[in-house]
């Protein structure tokens, strides 16, 4: 049942309700207004009439003349009347701002307590009209800032990571839908209209809710450091702690359903000291989710992963939610995604099906870049020209020790214009502008196939003769390029889906080095996810191989910084 204040607000916003009925706006509702299209300032409900009927509208109209275009659009969509003029409305706004904590944002950035306090003065019956308008604009500005941060990120990635290459799309807030939801007191609906779409974000957000809950409980128990590994079948006092630890994150299935709703159960897990098969299975799931060898043995690496504090895991989830917001204007249709930290590739199709495989990425110090591009052509039976970094750091030291290195690796020396050189006549201590090229063949580091895409880093997707490396749980071993398990199968899919007239097997069988263009470029994204949400609030965590999380976590602990949102 509506209060008198809410009923008054509904009368004040009658023009807004009519406007929402007539405006054919959806996801891009903040982009174009009828008044902007026609150039007539009075094409929204008559301002003079509202100024007479609604206290505070006249000073609002005056202040809007100097407001940002986005704030002006917001009020135009609301009938150019005061929006936050009853306590129920302010309470809904404050609830929304505080709910942002579960999205990985900091409610303190938006001062919900201050808004509550200022509302007591601004909404007092004795308050002056100018004070009401000033408060109303401040509340609306806060809402727009918070929802922009939710949709596109709280931070500017270019300021966190110099050299960031993927542009962040400008915000596109559904202001009509958001206003309707808030008018009905439906905070979850308003958040849903602003948050990034897609399972990547949603599952990270659900995992954060679980991990924040664990942090509030005081975190999970720490397993003592021990030299001896805990093995399946052992009986040990550490097993009870292990059960509690896995139950709290939902990994131990018998406990998972109860942990979130009955937190005391997690803290009073049965003190079973035998490392039984059910617990072994839970540990192996944990190991797979943390890119560890899934042998069920609690050795140093598994124990270290178990003992990472809950607050740090929650901070990692927050960092990845921010990354998801930066990348929320995502690709669709046919596209290839490489998760560099997770060391996996996924080829997405419009019908929802996908193909995935393991990859080998750049080692620390030779990081594979984060970027977006498109796969445009293939190189079959490639030769390999040694990149400058590998030449300087890897090949030349070996050449200086072993003059027979080139012959052993089927390499030739070339001048800068491609003329073949006699290696005996080169001073390998100071070779100058010499290139080294390895012929096509079974031992070529690129294998038999390369997928090329434009970029400034000279990286690409390719085959490898070292197939055994794909069996390792952590595969950051290349010099920057991405080796793909089953790259020929992926290439056949790309050829078929792009309707390219390429007989891959016949061309490979010829053994000739050849470039072949795809009929349609296939979009490619190289992303970096150190955490991934899974159904039920579970989460996977990956080693931060390029040490990129600390800078982002530290920036999230500081003030907001954005470089691409409209001025307020």
131-135, 512-516, 561-565, range with the lowest pLDDT = 561-565
Q: What is the pLDDT of residue 141?
A: 95
Q: What is the pLDDT of residue 350?
A: 94
When pLDDT is averaged across residues 459-467 and rounded to a whole number, the result is 96
Q: pLDDT digit string (tens) for 88-106?
A: 999 999 999 999 999 999 9
- The Cα diameter of the chain in Å comes to 95
pLDDT at residue 366 is higher than 90: yes
Q: pLDDT digit string (tens) for 370-409?
A: 999 999 999 999 999 888 888 888 889 988 888 788 888 8
Are 259 and 248 in contact by the 8 Å Cβ rule? The answer is yes
pLDDT at residue 14 is higher than 70: no
Q: What is the pLDDT of residue 407?
A: 86
> To the nearest whole percent, how much of the chain has pLDDT over 70?
85
Using pLDDT thresholds of 50, 70 and 90, give the confidence band for residue 118.
very high
User: Could you tell me which of 398, 345, 360 has the C-alpha nearest to residue 479?
Assistant: 360
Chain centroid, CA 219 distance in Å: 25
Q: What is the pLDDT of residue 206?
A: 96
Helix (H) or strand (E) holding 540: strand 539-541
97-111, 331-345, 434-448, 543-557, range with the lowest pLDDT = 434-448
Rounded to the nearest integer, the mean pLDDT of the chain is: 86
pLDDT at residue 42 is higher than 60: no
pTM for this model (two decimals): 0.85
For the sheet with 435-438, list strands across it: 384-385, 435-438, 411-414, 420-421
131-145, 171-185, 266-280, 322-336, range with the lowest pLDDT = 266-280
Q: What is the pLDDT of residue 491?
A: 97
Using pLDDT thresholds of 50, 70 and 90, give the confidence band for residue 166.
very high
Torsion from C-alpha of 495, 499, 500, 506, nearest 10 degrees: 60
pLDDT at residue 80 is higher than 50: yes
Q: How many CB atoms lie within 10 A of CB 483?
A: 24
What's the chain's Rg over C-alpha atoms?
A: 30
Using pLDDT thresholds of 50, 70 and 90, give the confidence band for residue 563.
low
The token duo for 243 is 């059960």
Using pLDDT thresholds of 50, 70 and 90, give the confidence band for residue 33.
very low
When pLDDT is averaged across residues 432-460 and rounded to a whole number, the result is 92
Q: What is the pLDDT of residue 257?
A: 43
Residues near 107 by beta carbon (within 8 Å), at least 6 away in sequence: 97, 98, 100, 101
Q: pLDDT digit string (tens) for 180-234?
A: 898 889 999 999 999 999 899 999 999 999 999 999 999 999 999 999 999 999 9
Q: What is the pLDDT of residue 157?
A: 96
Using pLDDT thresholds of 50, 70 and 90, give the confidence band for residue 431.
confident
User: Could you tell me which of 200, 204, 55, 207 has the C-alpha nearest to residue 133?
Assistant: 55
- Distances, alpha carbon 501 to alpha carbons 323, 347, 402, 489, in Å: 38, 20, 45, 16
Using pLDDT thresholds of 50, 70 and 90, give the confidence band for residue 297.
very high
Using pLDDT thresholds of 50, 70 and 90, give the confidence band for residue 253.
low
pLDDT at residue 264 is higher than 70: no
Using pLDDT thresholds of 50, 70 and 90, give the confidence band for residue 562.
low
Using pLDDT thresholds of 50, 70 and 90, give the confidence band for residue 25.
very low
Q: pLDDT digit string (tens) for 325-353?
A: 999 988 889 999 999 999 999 999 999 99
Beta strand segments in 271-410, E: 335-339, 344-348, 354-362, 371-380, 384-385
Q: How far apart are the first and last CA of the chain?
A: 36
Using pLDDT thresholds of 50, 70 and 90, give the confidence band for residue 272.
confident
When pLDDT is averaged across residues 263-267 and rounded to a whole number, the result is 42
When pLDDT is averaged across residues 540-564 and rounded to a whole number, the result is 90
Q: pLDDT digit string (tens) for 126-139?
A: 889 999 999 999 99
Beta bridge pairs of residue 345: 338, 357
Are 374 and 521 in contact by the 8 Å Cβ rule? The answer is yes
């Amino acid at each position: 049942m509506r209060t008198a204040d809410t009923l008054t607000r509904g009368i004040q916003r009658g023009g807004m309700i009519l406007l929402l009925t007539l405006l054919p706006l959806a996801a891009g509702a903040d982009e174009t207004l009828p008044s902007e299209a026609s150039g007539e300032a009075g094409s929204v409900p008559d301002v003079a009439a509202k100024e007479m009927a609604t206290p505070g509208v006249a000073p609002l109209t005056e202040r809007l003349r100097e407001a940002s275009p986005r704030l002006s659009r917001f009020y135009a969509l609301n009938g150019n009347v005061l929006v936050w003029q009853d306590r129920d409305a302010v309470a809904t706004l404050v609830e929304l701002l505080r709910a942002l904590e579960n999205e990985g944002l900091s409610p303190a950035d938006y001062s919900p307590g201050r808004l509550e306090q200022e509302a007591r003065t601004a909404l007092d019956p004795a308050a002056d009209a100018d004070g009401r308008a000033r408060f109303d604009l401040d509340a609306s500005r806060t809402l727009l800032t918070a929802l922009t941060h939710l949709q596109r990120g709280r931070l500017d990635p270019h300021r966190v990571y110099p050299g960031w290459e993927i542009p962040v799309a400008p915000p596109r807030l559904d202001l009509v839908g958001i206003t309707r939801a808030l008018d009905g007191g439906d905070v979850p609906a308003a958040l849903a209209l602003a948050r990034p779409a897609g399972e990547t974000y949603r599952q990270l957000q659900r995992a954060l809710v679980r991990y924040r809950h664990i942090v509030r409980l005081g975190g999970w128990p720490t397993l003592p450091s021990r030299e001896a590994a805990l093995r399946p079948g052992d009986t040990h006092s550490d097993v009870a702690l292990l059960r509690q630890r896995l139950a709290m994150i939902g990994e131990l299935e018998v406990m998972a359903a109860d942990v979130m709703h009955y937190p005391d159960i997690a803290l009073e897990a049965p003190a079973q000291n035998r490392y039984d098969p059910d617990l072994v299975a839970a540990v192996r799931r944990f190991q797979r989710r943390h890119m560890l060898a899934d042998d069920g043995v609690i050795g140093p690496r598994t124990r270290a992963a178990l003992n990472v504090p809950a607050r740090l895991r929650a901070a990692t989830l927050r960092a990845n939610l921010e990354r998801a917001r930066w990348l929320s204007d995502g690709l669709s249709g046919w596209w290839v995604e490489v998760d560099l930290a997770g060391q996996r590739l996924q080829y997405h199709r419009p019908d929802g099906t996908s193909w995935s495989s393991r990859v080998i990425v750049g080692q620390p110090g030779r990081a594979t870049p984060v970027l977006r591009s498109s796969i445009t052509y293939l190189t079959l039976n490639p030769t390999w020209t040694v990149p400058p970094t590998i030449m300087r750091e890897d090949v030349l030291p070996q050449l200086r020790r072993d003059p027979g290195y080139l012959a052993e690796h089927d390499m030739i020396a070339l001048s800068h214009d491609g003329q073949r050189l006699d290696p005996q006549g080169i001073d390998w201590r100071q070779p100058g502008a010499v290139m080294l090229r390895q012929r096509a063949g079974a031992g070529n580091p690129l294998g038999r196939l390369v997928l090329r895409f434009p970029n400034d880093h000279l990286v690409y997707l390719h085959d490898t003769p070292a197939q055994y490396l794909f069996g390792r749980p952590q595969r950051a071993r290349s010099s920057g390029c991405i080796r793909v398990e089953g790259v020929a199968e992926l290439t056949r899919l790309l050829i078929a889906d792009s309707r390219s007239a390429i007989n891959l097997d016949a061309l490979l069988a010829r053994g000739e080095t050849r470039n072949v263009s795809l009929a349609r470029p296939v979009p490619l994204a190289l992303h970096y996810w150190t955490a991934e949400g899974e159904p039920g609030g579970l989460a996977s965590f990956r080693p931060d191989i390029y040490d990129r999380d600390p800078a982002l976590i530290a920036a999230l602990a500081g003030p907001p910084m954005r470089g691409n949102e409209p001025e307020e």
